[in-house]
Structures are given as structure tokens and as C-alpha cells.
Copies of this chain bind each other. A is one copy, B any other.
Amino acid sequence: MPLNANNPSRQSWINVPENNDFPIQNIPFGVFLTRDDIITIGTRIGDTAIDLGALHQLGYFKGIDLTDDIFLQDSLNDFIADGRKTWRLVRNRISDIFLKGNHELQNNNVHCDKILFKMDEIEMQLPVDVGDYTDFYASKEHATNVGSLFRDPENALLPNWLHIPIGYHGRSSSIIPSGTPVHRPVGQTKPTEEGGKPGFGPSKALDFELEMAFITTDANDLGKRVKLEEAEDYIFGLVQFNDWSARDIQAWEYVPLGPFLGKSFASTISAWIVTLDALEPFRTDGPVQNPAPLTYLSQGGNMNFDIKLEVGIQPEGGEETVLAKSNFKYMYWSMAQQLTHHTLNGCNVRSGDMMGSGTISGPTKDSYGSMLELTWRGANPLTLKDGSERKFINDGDNVKMRAYCEKDGLRIGFGNCDGKVLPAVE
């Protein structure tokens, strides 16, 4: 099936402001509450939200095999379970309906009134009901920085790192959509003297992690494996992801079983899922893998994606300072390798599962994806535009992430992935 919808010359009859993340080539998927408080699955062109539930009810998806209520859901899980062929048919149809020159809907004011909303009239929700969430650790620069900070700069990477896409199971219940405030977590911290009583209270080392995450469809039954060459067929799309981390809580609790309460208080994702189809024009080679991975992880070609990443802090009542710029293409292990490895033991992957990249740090100091790395564990505080310093995140800070691709005048982006930090609850 050709990806017509990606043609960069296509324009919509819906206005798309300059530098907007959502031209007609994007067609992301999300869930929102309409102005009438109805929950629906939708997409977006420019600053216009499109109610796919209404579009379907009014007959615009005729000829595509969809259940009547497929878009009248509070999550995308069922639609994602329909598989890649259906996603493409729906994507292409949406692209046609809103193409400049197609007046079928444009000239029907009654329909437009039921289908189109201004973004500020609606309320974005979590797009998927995440069954299982896994976070990988796939940026070599990040793993090297963390290894240098906490272990030995000469042997920063652990022996398994270059052979395995290292990952761990995360907490699904605390995944929240962009814009949801985050309470500073309370926790135990390392005793100040050996054998002493642990510390207790609000985290003093609250951090962000600049990540992307992909959302899967049903990939395999328990006991079966996904082959690398098929892995991308099971990836519906990506979200931007802030894997909030309380470094002091994490440092005390994480041996020997890994991160737990230092992470599970909140995980913010963008409200829009951008499909792998929309990202197709931005494919690029990943880093050279040396030593070569084992056969089941051996891949050819351009399995990475050139997605520019940014993170900034906007203090209470102030202006945002961009702290770092990175890129999703720095990921050492590709999404296809991650998903393939995840099923090597027969672990089943389901529709709506989410797999995070881990912090994506680049090669230079201004491309590190966490405060931990940017301030080198607090040794080099950052100065914001208002003159205030940060080793970690303060109460009242709004942490803002952006992710977008840009090439030949086409920009495909993810919208907001923001979260404001509120004081700890007593």
C-alpha cells in the first residue's frame, strides 16, 4: 500500500500555521473530550481537532472494515489491535477528506460543526490504556555518562550493554498525558552515616529524562517470538516521553532489583501518537554496532529516525530556558531490536503496550537528556534566563519537552510533553 499521505506537496483545506507540528502529512491519533463532554478518538490538522467517532458515524470511512464504535472509545487499544493495514486505510482516507480541493466535507457545514473543534475547546486524555510499560536504556552516551558518574569512567559501560538492549519493567498506572501536574514524590533516602537511619521526605533530586516511546499492537502469543524483520509491523507509533526520576530515592532503593519508587510516581507522555507511517520520510541509519549483535538482533538499513528533541524548564511565572537538544537517532539499539529482544524469551506483547527508549543523550554536553548528566550530578548547576540556578527541578517548574522531524520544508511533530511540578503532598 503506497504511503500517499506522506507526499510533501499535499496541503489541507484546514489552515496549518507556520512551524506547526500537525500538517496533513502527520495525522496523529489521540483521545479527547469534546466540548459536549463526549469521549472520542481523534486526530489533528494544524490547531483543529477532528472527531473520528463523528466522522465514522457520518459515513466517511465507508468501505473500510471498522466496527461501528471503533472510534467511540476511551483508548486507542482496539483500533491499534486492528493492525497496520487498517491504520493505513484510515490514515489515507483522512488525508483525502482533508486535502485541499476535496469539498465533500468542507462544504457541509452541518457535518463540519459535528466533526471539527478548536484545540482549546477540547481536553486531551491518555491515548492508550497501557497494559505493560517497559523502559529501555538504549542511548550509549547516556549509559556511558551514568556509568562514569556512578562507577568508573574507564569502564563506564557494563559488559552486557553492547550485547543486549537493556530494559526493565515500569509502572503503567502512573502514566499521564502532557499537562497533568506532578507532585514531588516522598521517599526514603540513603542514611547520611553508614548503618544510620534512612532519610525521609520530599525528593531533593527530582529529574526529567528526555525519551521517546513506541506503542505496539498485538505482536505474539506467549511462548512465540517476533523476528527482527517483522518487528516494525507491530509498532503503531510513537509518543514523546518524560520518565520523571527521583535520583535520591532511586539511589537508595535500586539494588539489586532496579528502579522502583524513584520512577513510578509519574511518567508523562505526549497526548498524540504519531504513526510510524508518518515518520517514514525521516528514517536514518543508527550508530554502528560494534561488536556485531547476535544474529537474532542483526539488522540492516536505516532503522533509526531523525527526530529532534528538546527539553526546557519554565519557572513559575517566568520564561522557558531550553536546557538541552538531542535526537532520537542517537539511540544505539533500534526500536525493532528492542521489540525483538523483548520477545526472545516468549514474552507476549499486546496492543497498547509502551516501550520507552531510555534517556536519549547525544555526544555533546548540551545534548544530555537529564539534569543528572547536564549538571554532572549537581557539580555544575545550570543557570536559567531569570538568573536562578538549578541542580535539579524546583517546585513550580514546568518541564517542557518537544519532539519533531524536519526535512524539505515538512515538519512532523508530537505537540507538547509538559508537566509542572507541585510540592509534595503531606
Residues on A facing B (Cβ under 8 Å): 131-132, 137, 158-160, 163-164, 166-174, 176, 183, 185-188, 191, 194-195, 197-198, 200, 222-225, 246, 249, 252-262, 264-266, 291, 294, 296, 341-342, 344-350, 353, 425
Are B265's CB and A345's CB within 8 A?
A: yes
Minimum CB–CB distance for A59 against chain B, Å = 32
Residues of B within 8 A of A171 (CB): 132, 169, 347
Are A167's CB and B345's CB within 8 A?
A: no
Residues of B within 8 A of A353 (CB): 173
Are A198's CB and B265's CB within 8 A?
A: no
Residues of B within 8 A of A164 (CB): 188, 198, 252-253
Are A264's CB and B185's CB within 8 A?
A: no
- Chain B residue nearest to A358 in the complex (CB): B257
**Contacts A132-B173, A164-B252 hold; do A345 and B257 have CB atoms under 8 A apart?**
no
**Contacts A166-B253, A188-B294, A200-B294 hold; do A222 and B174 have CB atoms under 8 A apart?**
yes
Residues of B within 8 A of A224 (CB): 425
- Chain B residue nearest to A295 in the complex (CB): B200
Q: How far is the CA of A348 from the CA of B223 in the complex (A)?
A: 31
Residues of B within 8 A of A346 (CB): 174, 183, 185-186, 265-266, 425
The residue from B132, B158, B200, B294 contacting A256, defined by CB atoms under 8 A apart: B158
Residues of B within 8 A of A191 (CB): 159
Are A167's CB and B223's CB within 8 A?
A: no
Q: How far is the CA of A103 from the CA of B382 in the complex (A)?
A: 77
Residues of B within 8 A of A166 (CB): 253, 256-257, 260
Main SS at interface, chain A: loop
**Contacts A166-B257, A188-B164, A346-B185 hold; do A294 and B425 have CB atoms under 8 A apart?**
no
Are B261's CB and A258's CB within 8 A?
A: no
Residues of B within 8 A of A198 (CB): 160, 163-164, 294
Are B222's CB and A345's CB within 8 A?
A: no
Listed residue (A169, A197, A353) with the most chain B CB atoms within 10 angstroms of its CB: A169
Minimum CB–CB distance for A387 against chain B, Å = 31
The residue from B173, B296, B342 contacting A347, defined by CB atoms under 8 A apart: B173
Q: How far is the CA of A160 from the CA of B158 in the complex (A)?
A: 23
Residues of B within 8 A of A341 (CB): 261
Minimum CB–CB distance for A243 against chain B, Å = 12
Minimum CB–CB distance for A246 against chain B, Å = 7
The residue from B170, B222, B296 contacting A169, defined by CB atoms under 8 A apart: B170
Residues of B within 8 A of A344 (CB): 185-188, 261
Residues of B within 8 A of A257 (CB): 137, 166-168, 258-259
CB pairs A–B below 8 angstroms (17 shown) = A166-B253, A168-B169, A169-B260, A172-B172, A173-B353, A174-B346, A185-B346, A188-B344, A200-B294, A200-B296, A225-B425, A246-B345, A254-B258, A261-B341, A261-B344, A261-B347, A346-B425
Listed residue (A163, A185, A294) with the most chain B CB atoms within 10 angstroms of its CB: A163
The residue from B222, B256, B348 contacting A254, defined by CB atoms under 8 A apart: B256
Are B168's CB and A345's CB within 8 A?
A: no
Are A345's CB and B225's CB within 8 A?
A: no
Q: How far is the CA of A235 from the CA of B170 in the complex (A)?
A: 22
Q: How far is the CA of A160 from the CA of B262 in the complex (A)?
A: 14
16 further A-B pairs in the complex, CB-CB below 8 A; given A131-B173, A160-B252, A257-B259: A132-B171, A159-B191, A163-B198, A172-B172, A173-B347, A173-B348, A183-B222, A187-B344, A188-B344, A254-B256, A257-B258, A261-B342, A262-B345, A264-B347, A265-B347, A346-B425
- Chain B residue nearest to A424 in the complex (CB): B346
